[in-house]
Amino acid sequence: MILRRRWLRVVAPLALIALATSGAAWSPRLDLPLTTGAWGAPGGVNSGLLLWYDTAEAGTMSLAPRLRFWFDKSGQAQHAPVSAGPYQPYPTLASGVSGLQFSGAAVQLSTSIPLEPMTVMLVFRQANESLSHPLVGSRTRFSGISMELGRLRVYSNGQAVGASTARTLTGLTITTVRTAAGGTDGFQYNGGPETTFSLTSSESINWIGGMFVAGTPKYFVGTIMEVLIWGRSLSSSELQAAHRALGAKWGISVP
């Protein structure tokens, strides 16, 4: 009897721990470390950071074995659920680094983010340069950012309002779009020269890896490693600092 009581004293706390953590990926308790500055943004550019998904932090992804929930590292609690189905993103390796393979589903944001002003940086690799790949967009409107035949385009309610020069880079890429309310907007690849364009839009985005195009949802096909969105137009020095940090992290050459 004495041995049994001792065994219960040991096992009972372990059972309580198991029960408390078995659903931890879905528990609001996990908001605590994410909202208290557990991570510093790339290059120290924390001001205005709205969203940050990162496959390098395996603990921020709930996998079963495909992605069911992606926790936001920005501290803004933009945690994203993913509906169960055959096209859920799943973990993979691309260019020698870990990422999420997208092939027919998008990650839905908990809130909509205006197309301007903002700065979005995506680390990804396309499955095929010759196809159309929505990177971020709206799930109900033809608005967002897409890679098309090697060119980056921004759409506002069905109208192309900006297009980059043809991309000459292949493999893993840091693609950046910066918009400024009432100012000049721009595209960059791997922190290189910025191609400018002009956007005036009240549209928003709420999908990662998808966009509602001409009445039909379209999806990104390829691997996404990291997504960061700031609710403002970053300065040149901030862009450079963030690009260099991401380049060092993912093994991408930047200026």
CA 226 from centre of chain: 5
Mean pLDDT score, 110-126:
94
The Cα 28–Cα 11 span in angstroms is 26
Average pLDDT value for the chain: 84
Closest by CA position to 33, among listed 62, 67, 73: 73
pLDDT at 7 over 90: no
Prediction pTM value: 0.84
User: Which range scores top for mean pLDDT: 15-24, 56-65, 226-235?
Assistant: 226-235
pLDDT for 70 beyond 90: yes
Among the listed residues 199, 250, 198, the one whose alpha carbon sits nearest the alpha carbon of residue 56? 250
Q: Which pLDDT does position 222 carry in this prediction? A: 92
Average pLDDT over residues 153-168: 86
First to last CA, the chain: 71
How far apart CA 253 and CA 251 sit, in angstroms, is 7
Joined together, the tokens standing for residue 153 give 């385009």
Q: Where are the domains of the chain?
A: 47-250
Class of the 47-250 domain?
Answer: mainly beta
Condensed to tens digits (0 to 9), the pLDDT of residues 11-47 reads 333 333 232 323 333 333 344 344 445 679 999 999 9
Higher pLDDT, 244 or 4: 244
Q: Looking at this protein, which amino acid is placed at residue 179?
A: T
